[in-house]
Amino acid sequence: MEAVASDSVEKFRKVKAAEGLFDDEVIYVSAQGSRIGIEGGRVIVTSADKQDIMSSFPVEKVRTVNVFGNISVSTPFLANCGKAKMSVNYFTWYGKYVGSFVPEQNTIAEVRRRQATLGKDQALMISRTIVGAKIRNSRTLLSRKKVSFPERMKVLESSVHSTDDMDQLRGIEGEAAALYFGCLDECLIEGWTFEKRSRRPPQEHINSLLSLTYAMMKNEVMSALRQYNLDPFIGVMHTDRHGRPALALDLIEEFRPIFCDAFALRLVNQRVLGHDDFTTENRLKEHALKKYFAQFDGYMKGTFMHPKFRYTVTRRRAVVMQAILLRKAIVGEMKRYHPLVFMR
């Protein structure tokens, strides 16, 4: 997309199409060596020599800035982030989350207090609905791909709501995930194979795409949780661990099959990315990673009819809506959490 220039930046003669700068609320900056600054109420992304504006955007429209790799971020820009309540998330060039700049703001202490003291029964009830939704969405994705799934998945989905403790629930989730991933190979076009889910590092190109997409979705979820004053590191189902965004990992579960896996399969099956787009280290090459960011952003801005509320929303907005519903369930404003479930 072309950057929209205002009067404050007209003095710059050369304005290029954005490299990784795609959305009104969420910005991705991936052009290596570029610089992010602030001028005239706009976020300005310039080339390394500061001669060319690569993109600019009104500060008031930006909620999150995602920085990938060797990008310089100016101190005045970060100071303005604090005032404008913008978050900056830092990733390695290959999408591994490094850390965030989160502006000081009213965190609503009561929300955090309720989150930190959530009772076991309430936590189990929320977790049951999340795992049930994940299994249902896994079945739905396989059905959309016209792939038969084991009947055992239906049994596991039904047994979720009668679990007595979190360990039993995690066991059901793990078994269902293994059955689901056992079918994923049938969802791929000829020339691609999926044997099993592998991480740190992913062993296949499709696993690499899945890992990157999970990382991107985790960032979307963390941003949404922070927006509604939930602490991403205090989990409901996932155990707390230093540096582990447990609540974000909880909420992402229902999105994994129907958003993340569906997106990775689309990239492969529509031949947007191919094996030649990967390095020998099983990572996307620079040009392919830029294409990936553009595709992911477009995918998150894609719309669908919300199965519960029956109106059209973007996938990005749907993530935010689930954060709101989770918050209401945690603080007791709703009796139960309503996950995002696709029945067909």
Per residue of the chain (344 residues), give pLDDT as tens. Answer: 233 333 333 333 233 333 333 345 777 787 888 899 888 888 888 887 777 787 888 888 887 888 888 888 888 888 888 778 788 888 777 667 777 787 766 556 788 889 989 999 999 999 999 999 999 999 999 999 999 999 999 999 999 999 999 999 999 999 999 999 999 999 999 999 888 787 767 778 999 999 999 999 998 898 888 877 788 999 999 887 777 899 999 999 999 999 999 999 999 999 999 999 999 888 899 889 989 988 998 999 999 998 888 888 899 989 989 999 999 999 888 889 999 999 88
Predicted local distance difference test score (pLDDT) of residue 260:
97
User: Which CATH number do you get for residue 128?
Assistant: 1.20.120.920
Do 97 and 120 fall into the same domain?
no
28 with 154, same domain: the answer is no
Within the chain, how many helices (H) and strands (E) appear?
Answer: 10, 10
Residue 181 makes CB contacts below 8 A (sequence gap 6+) with 194, 196, 197
Helix-helix angle 152-159:120-144, to 10 degrees: 160
Q: How far apart are CA 225 and CA 231, in angstroms?
A: 7
Q: Chain centroid to CA 6: how far?
A: 31
pLDDT at 167 (0 to 100): 93
Question: Which two structure tokens, joined as six digits, stand for 182?
Answer: 């056992």
Question: Residues 206, 307: one domain?
Answer: yes
Round to whole Å and give the CA distance between 208 and 283. 7
Residue 278 near residue 288 (C-beta atoms within 8 A): yes
Query: In the prediction, which pLDDT does 24 show?
Result: 52
38 membership: H or E segment, kind and range = strand 35-39
pLDDT at position 7, please? 36
Tell me whether residue 196 is in a domain.
yes
The distance from CA 201 to its chain's CA centroid, rounded to whole angstroms, is: 19
Question: Quick one: which of 138, 136, 147, 115 has its CA closest to 240?
Answer: 115
Query: Cα separation of 133 and 231, whole Å?
Result: 22
307, part of any domain: yes
Report the 10 Å Cβ neighbour count for 49. 8
Q: How far is CA 171 from the centre of its chain?
A: 25
Is residue 344 in a domain? no
End of a domain among 101, 136, 160?
A: 101
Question: How many folded domains does the chain comprise?
Answer: 2
CATH code of the domain containing 56 = 3.100.10.20
Reference 20, options 271, 301, 287, 320; nearest CA is 287
- Examine the domain organization and report whether 136 and 275 are in the same domain: yes
Look at residue 125 and tell me if it is in a domain.
yes
* 19 and 97 part of one domain: yes
The confidence score (pLDDT) of residue 81 equals 83
Structure confidence at residue 94 (pLDDT) = 65
Written as one string, the DSSP assignment of 113-139 is HHHHT--HHHHHHHHHHHHHHHHHHHH
Residues 6+ apart with CB under 8 A from 137: 254, 256, 257, 258, 340, 341, 342
Note whether 97 and 116 are same-domain residues.
no
Asked whether residue 2 is assigned to any structural domain, the reply reads: no
Q: What is the pLDDT of residue 107?
A: 59
What is the domain extent for residue 94? 7-101
pLDDT at 13: 29
